[in-house]
Homo-oligomer: A and B are copies of this chain.
Amino acid sequence: MKLGRLNHVGVVTASMDDCIAFWRDTMGAEVIHAPFDMSEQGVRIAFVDTPDADGGNSGTQMELIEPLPGGAIAAWLEKNPGGGQHHLCFEVPDIHAAKAELEAMGKRVLGEPRMGAHGTLIFFVHPRDMQGILTEFMETPKGH
């Protein structure tokens, strides 16, 4: 595998409204995309754009995640009621090749590739196999 772009950092919050207010008012984010539900994943999410090194807006995004009741991330929030950092997501050119390569290294891939919030396939790898980091891989969106 060749290291891909850090697409986003996922952070969990108990309140999407509060989290959006934080990124807008405290951190000064200028582009915060409208939140939407991903019911099948049990989450409501919103992306925040960040600046890149060239003065553009294509830096690593923040993914704000509010658990919907009963989902896997609701349990995470119970253990971490103040919210916080949840996962890192790196882009790969071919999601199935990435899965095969990681599995060949003995890494525990969590389920089959499924549709992610950017409209491409994603999967997660168990943090115990990834230096304690819950790691998501996503196929790079076309045109990027």
| Distance in angstroms between the alpha carbons of A60 and B83 in the assembled complex | 22
Interface presence of A34 (CB below 8 A)? no
Copies of chain A in the complex: 2
With an 8 A cutoff between CB atoms, is A9 at the interface?
Answer: yes
Cross-chain contact of A59 among B5, B11, B12, B51 (Cβ < 8 A): B5
A9 touches which one: B6, B23, B83, B144 (CB < 8 A)? B6
Q: What is the CB-to-nearest-CB distance from A55 to chain B, in angstroms, rounded to a whole number?
A: 9
Instruction: State whether B131 touches A19 (Cβ < 8 A).
Output: yes
Segment from A39-47, A84-92, A116-124 that makes contact with B: A84-92
Query: Are B28 and A2 within 8 A (Cβ)?
Result: yes
Closest-CB distance, A123 to chain B (whole angstroms): 15
Taking the closest CB of chain B, its distance from the CB of A23, in whole angstroms, is 7
Other-chain residue from B26, B53, B85 in contact with A1 (beta carbon distance below 8 A): B26
State A18–B19 Cα separation when bound (angstroms).
35
Give the shortest distance, in Å, between A8 (CB) and chain B (any CB): 10
Whole-angstrom CA separation of A5 from B51 in the bound complex: 5
Cα–Cα, bound, A56→B133 (Å): 25
Q: Find out whether the CB atom of A3 lies under 8 angstroms from the CB atom of B22.
A: no
Closest chain B CB from A53 CB (angstroms) = 4
Bound Cα distance A88, B88 (Å): 11
* A52 contacts across to B, CB distance below 8 A: 5, 52-53, 58
